[in-house]
Amino acid sequence: MKLWEGRFAAPTAKDADLFNDSLPFDKKLWKADITASVAHARMLGKCGIISADESALICGGLEKIYEDIENGTLEIQGAEDIHSFVENELVSRIGDAGKKLHTARSRNDQVATDFRLYVRSSTDTVIESLSNLIEVLLNNAEYGVKYIMPGYTHLRKAQPICLGHFFNAYAEMFLRDADRFYSSRKRLNVMPLGSGALAGTSYPIDRDMVATLLDFDKPCDNSLDGVSDRDFVAEYCFNASMAMSHLSRLCEDIILYSTEEFGYFEISDEYSTGSSIMPQKKNPDIPELMRGKTGRIYGHLMAILTTLKGIPLAYNKDLQEDKEGFFDCENQLLSCINIMAELLDNITFNTNKMKKAAESDFACATDVADYLAKKGVPFRTAHGVTGKIVRWCIENGRTLQNMTIDEYQTFDEHFDIDICETVKGKTCAEARTSFGGASPKSVKENIRSIKKRLSKYKE
Ligand code: ARG
């Protein structure tokens, strides 16, 4: 039964129904819808808008529907949307009292409230998943304190870094993502219910009571805005997009570092795939797919922003388009975060290969220039001298590590025997003790700081 059929002489066309109905996807909101309706009914009773008996009958009926859906005895089907389904079901169970549930509300403030409840709980789940991922990254960072790897710029070897520094960098990104979801949650946690269709209501409702029952911080201050605000969906999709961008970069690093050419990381068999024709292959399908899904999530962000851009106040049916993209965004994001945590929990490292790579290809050249600069040679001059040394090494098939002290001294008299220690990869990484730097000491400080900032989400 349609909630609004009284005005119509003819039923809607079959294809119009199929086009219009949202039940196939908004049935996901059933818990939120029933929870919000129970709070609304309690308030109607308490404010004397319906009788206490009617209120109790409605709440009891709704709770029974909740149980029946939860244990699978009631299937959600045969209505325009989840709100109609629950109301029809209630009326069929308790009769006329059920018809009073919709007093002083509209589906417009109802759907806005339900969806906020749903997105709020999803936000909490995302923050929890991100926290778990950050903990796995921190475990890897702790392991990585003892090892060095090359750091890159322009994907050319730049300077040796501690392996832990790499993982902390991603932990920082995902912590920012958690912060973003957390701060969006504050803006989201405002209750539209009581906005009615658009203009509020003439019944003596108590919006504060409903807000408290539903754990909202407060009722919204403007009913027109209340029924049409979907900023929280766009914010969620943006936060998801940002997190996917971080995941995608991490995927790219993992794919690259696990190639035969780099060979620093080894993805475990459980998170790798093979080829149907090439027996030797161990492919990084999981991180590749995750990198690919990033485009899809960005798409959901663009879709919701575009849907919202031209809508006049207040509610318009365009707003029903806020859900499907969101649900997919949520699904994909959570599975990506969770699978990345598993993949990283099982990844192994070729620490020797990383160590060798960290010293080779003149990755320690900056430290040669710094060595001279610390002895009083102006940095720009020291840079020039070191550049000449590198060129000489390339022409003569030598490395910074196998040059003799005599050879160093032919380039500048400030070189002393300690230059041999200076150009070791480990020394270079250990030397970068500045705040936020790549040395084991700084990395340990960074781990402590991330743990402290993360603790807020671990209560
Ligand atoms: N299914 C609708 C949505 O998702 C519910 C609100 C319907 N309101 C209306 N005035 N048609 O937006």
Contact 25, 323 (CB under 8 A): yes
Residue nearest to atom 11 of ligand 1 (CA): 317
DSSP 358: H
330 alpha carbon – ligand 1 mean position (Å) = 21
From 320, 321, 326, 327, mutation site for ligand 1 pocket: most ligand atoms within 8 A of C-beta: 320
- Could you give the count of Cα atoms lying within 13 Å of 279 in the half-sphere of its Cβ? 0
pLDDT band (50, 70, 90) for residue 379: very high
Q: Give yes or no for residue 459 having a pLDDT over 80.
A: no
Arithmetic mean of pLDDT, 235-263: 98
Q: In which band, very low, low, confident or very high, does the pLDDT at 383 lie, cut at 50, 70 and 90?
A: very high
Residue nearest to atom 12 of ligand 1 (CA): 320
Enumerate the active-site residues: 154, 275
For ligand 1, is residue 322 a contact (CB within 6 Å)?
no
- Of all protein residues, whose CA lies closest to atom 4 belonging to ligand 1? 320
The answer to whether residues 225 and 137 touch, using CB atoms and an 8 Å cutoff, is no
Query: Is residue 10 a contact partner of residue 17, using CB atoms and an 8 Å limit?
Result: no
- pLDDT of 330 over the 80 cut: yes
- Taking the CA of residue 22 as reference, the ligand 1 atom at the shortest distance is 1
Instruction: Tell me the C-alpha distance between 422 and 417, whole Å.
Output: 9
Q: Is 257 in the pocket of ligand 1 (CB under 6 A)?
A: no
Q: Does the beta carbon of 412 lie inside 6 Å of ligand 1?
A: no
Rounded to the nearest angstrom, the distance between the alpha carbon of 107 and the centre of ligand 1 is: 6
**Two tokens, residue 150:** 């090359």
Give the closest residue (by CA) to ligand 1 atom 2.
Answer: 320
Share of the chain above pLDDT 70, in %: 100
Query: What mean pLDDT is predicted for residues 44-62?
Result: 98
Cα–Cα distance, 199 to 187 (Å, whole number) = 21
Compute the distance from residue 75 Cα to the ligand 1 centre, in Å: 21
Alpha-carbon distances, residue 236 vs 120, 164, 299, 330 (angstroms): 10, 30, 13, 9
Q: What is the rounded distance in angstroms from the CA atom of residue 234 to the CA atom of residue 305?
A: 6
pLDDT at 40: 99
* d(CA 71, ligand 1 centre) in Å: 27
| Burial of 135: CB neighbours in 10 Å, binned 0-12, 13-18, 19+ | middle
Distance between Cα 108 and ligand 1 center (Å)? 6
* Binding site membership of 326 for ligand 1 (Cβ less than 6 Å): no
Cβ-Cβ contacts under 8 Å for 402 (sequence gap 6 or more): none
**What are 199-215's pLDDT values in tens digits?**
999 999 999 999 999 99
- For position 412, what pLDDT does the model report? 98
pTM exceeds cut of 0.75: yes
- Which DSSP symbol is given to 376? T
DSSP per position, 84-113: HHHHHHHHHHHGGGGGGTTTT--HHHHHHH
CA dihedral angle for residue 412, residue 418, residue 419, residue 423, rounded to 10 degrees = -170
Probe residue for ligand 1, chosen from 4, 84, 111 as the CB with the greatest number of ligand atoms within 8 Å: 111
In short, whether 115's Cβ falls inside 6 Å of ligand 1 is no
Indicate if ligand 1 lies below 6 Å from the C-beta of 81. yes
In this prediction, residue 458 carries a pLDDT of 87
From the alpha carbon of 83, which atom of ligand 1 is closest?
A: 5
Is the pLDDT reported for residue 5 higher than 90?
no
Confidence band for 335, pLDDT divided at 50, 70 and 90? very high
Tokens for 312?
């006049």
**Ligand 1 centre and the CA of 335: distance in Å?**
29
CB-ligand 1 contact for 227 (6 Å cutoff): no
**Cα separation, 36 vs 30, whole angstroms:** 10
Q: Per-residue pLDDT tens for 88-140?
A: 999 999 999 999 999 999 999 999 999 999 999 999 999 999 999 999 999 99
User: Nearest residue CA, atom 3 of ligand 1?
Assistant: 320
Q: What is the mean pLDDT of residues 321-328?
A: 98
- When pLDDT is averaged across residues 40-57 and rounded to a whole number, the result is 98
Of 18, 23, 33, 81, best ligand 1 pocket probe by most atoms within 8 Å of the beta carbon: 81
CB distance 85 to ligand 1 below 6 Å? no
The label of the residue with tokens 């629950």 reads 86
The protein residue with its alpha carbon nearest to ligand 1, atom 7, reads 107
- The minimum-distance atom of ligand 1 relative to the CA of 115 is 4
| H/E element, 265 | strand 265-266
- Cβ–ligand 1 distance for 110 under 6 Å, the answer no
Residue with tokens 């308490």: 46
439: three-class secondary structure by DSSP: coil
Q: How confident is the model at residue 254 (pLDDT cuts 50, 70, 90)?
A: very high
Q: Is the CB of 320 under 6 A from ligand 1?
A: yes
Report CA(110)–ligand 1 centroid distance (Å). Answer: 9
Could you write out the DSSP letters of every residue in 138-197?
A: HHHHHHHTT-EEEEEETTEEEEEEEHHHHHHHHHHHHHHHHHHHHHHHHHH-EE-TT-TT
Q: What mean pLDDT is reported for the chain?
A: 97
- Residue 264: C-alpha distances to residues 222, 258, 350, 368 (Å): 56, 6, 5, 26
3-state helix, strand, coil in the chain (%, to 5): 65, 5, 30
Q: Look at residue 223 and tell me whether its pLDDT is greater than 90.
A: yes
Identify which of 2, 22, 307, 317 to mutate to test ligand 1's pocket (most ligand atoms within 8 A of the CB): 317
